Amino acid sequence: MRKASPGVICVLLGVVLLLAALGLYGYNRWEDAQAGAEAQTVVQDLQEKVVEQTQSAASAPAIDYSSLDPELPVVELDGYEYVGTVSIPAIGIDLPVMSEWSYPKLKISPCRQFGSSRTDDLVIAAHNYESHFGKIGTLALGDEVRFTDMDGIENHYTVSAIEVHDPTDVEAVEHSGHDLVLYTCTYGGKTRIVVFCDRSD
Domains with residue ranges and CATH for the chain: 41-56+74-199 (2.40.260.10)
- Count of Cβ atoms closer than 10 Å to residue 44 Cβ: 13
pLDDT at position 44 is 73
pLDDT at position 184 is 95
Helix (H, G, I), strand (E, B) or coil at 71: coil
Higher-pLDDT residue of 38 and 184 is 184
* 50: DSSP letter: H
For 67-93, what is each residue's pLDDT tens digit? Answer: 778 899 999 998 999 999 999 999 999
For 9-20, what is each residue's pLDDT tens digit? Answer: 777 776 666 665
- Count of Cβ atoms closer than 10 Å to residue 13 Cβ: 10
Q: Where are the alpha helices (DSSP H) in 100-179?
A: 103-106, 170-174
- Euclidean distance between the first and the last CA atom of the chain, given in angstroms as a whole number: 78
pLDDT at position 187 is 81
